[in-house]
Structure formats: C-alpha cells, structure tokens
A and B are shown apart, each in its own frame.
Chain A
Amino acid sequence: DAGVIQSPRHEVTEMGQEVTLRCKPISGHDYLFWYRQTMMRGLELLIYFNNNVPIDDSGMPEDRFSAKMPNASFSTLKIQPSEPRDSAVYFCASSRQGIDYGYTFGSGTRLTVV
C-alpha cells in the first residue's frame, strides 16, 4: 500500500491566485480528513468526510476555502483567492471506521503565498 498520497509537496503562489491541493486516501478507508498546521495554531481540523460526504466543515476558515471528495479515492482542497495568511502545511489523512489505529497521514503540502 502506497499510503496517503498528497500533491504537490510544495506550492508557492502569489496572493490572489487559486490553489488546489490533492489527496488520494488509502484504499478501503472511509474517512478522510484535511488538517492545517501552523506555528501559531498547531494542527487544526479543517473538514472531514465519511464515505465521500462532508461531515464537519466547521474548521474551514472562510468561504475562500472549499473541499470536495468526488469519489472514494480522491479529494481536493481549494483556496480561492489565496492570501499570505494561508501559508501553512496542509495534511490529508485517512482512517477506517471502527479501527482504532488512528489516522494515516500523507506527507503534507507546504503552501507559501507571497
């Protein structure tokens, strides 16, 4: 198993541009999570899906952020328009319901908005 795959690993963009982060969860996992990590705020849950359906998006900062999961093997997190304060590491993670192994994380995307 290749684990949770995120792309790109690094992204540098200019303020105002649209940014799309991508995630492929582990096959068979029915939960998918998007977290953001910053020095100031630590690890924050942005949104999570169960069986491709968004369950809790209360952590999404504002309307500039949106996430989709069109099928069980793919999810995107989009920021439009991007701002410098969005600079962070964005993690995707997946897990299986009823299995207490915690999450399996992707390697994260470091986003820098200049």
Chain B
Amino acid sequence: AQTVTQSQPEMSVQEAETVTLSCTYDTSESDYYLFWYKQPPSRQMILVIRQEAYKQQNATENRFSVNFQKAAKSFSLKISDSQLGDAAMYFCAYRIPFGNEKLTFGTGTRLTIIP
C-alpha cells in the first residue's frame, strides 16, 4: 500500500524568507503523480503544485517549487518570499494515474508566517 509521510507537524518562517516542507512516500509504482495542497483557516483545500513522476524537471508555480527525488522517494515543497497569506496546513498527496484515482494524503504540516 502507498503511504505518504510528512515528518514536520509544524514549521515557521519569517515573512519574505524561504521555507522547505518535507514529504516522503512509499510506492512500488513507476508512474504516479504527486501533489501539494494548501488548507488555510477557511478549510478550503487548494491545489498548490503537482509533479508527474516520469518528468525529471521539478515543477514550479510562481513562488512555489518542488524538489522531486524519485530514487529517494522524496517530494519537498519550497516556498520563496513567504507571505502572510501562505500561513496554512500543507498536505502532500500521491496518486497513480490510471485504474485507481484516489489520493493518499500525508498528515500535514502547519506553516506559520512570522511578520
């Protein structure tokens, strides 16, 4: 069974600084997708960034980027120039592309932005 592990329950960062959130996963599949979701206090789950396992290039979305290490089964999220609006729970998630569409989530990391 696939598992997703987020070992940092809480993180904090000074506004305008950079922070990296960690995620590891366990799978026997060779093709899959990885995601980071943000859940602010409003509790809405918002897709931040996604990565296809067959692509070696790390995904980037504005201030958000990932460091995808397939051999190590690691998928970290880097937030640059942190803003107060980035304060939220961040969830790492995994999904295989076909046949079974369900997402497996990690336990989340609560990110605090210090003004």
Contacts and interface: CB of A to CB of B under 8 A. Distances in A.
Interface of A: 31, 33, 42-43, 45, 48, 50, 56, 89, 91, 93, 95, 97-98, 100-105, 107-108, 110
A50 B43 contact: no
A101 B45 contact: no
Contacts of A105: 44-46
B86 interface: no
Nearest to A96: B101
Nearest to B108: A42
Contact of B50 (A50, A97, A98, A102): A102
Contacts, number: 52
Interface string B87-100: 00001010101101
Contact of A102 (B35, B44, B107): B35
Contact of B43 (A45, A48, A104, A107): A107
Contacts of B45: 91, 93, 103, 105, 108
Contact of A33 (B35, B97, B102): B102
Interface residues of B, number: 25
A75 to B, nearest CB: 15
B92 to A, nearest CB: 11
B103 interface: yes
A108 B43 CA distance: 7
Nearest to A100: B33
Given A100-B52, A102-B50, A102-B93, A43 B44 contact: no
6 contacts: A50-B101, A98-B97, A105-B45, A105-B46, A108-B44, A108-B45
A98 B102 CA distance: 13
B50 to A, nearest CB: 6
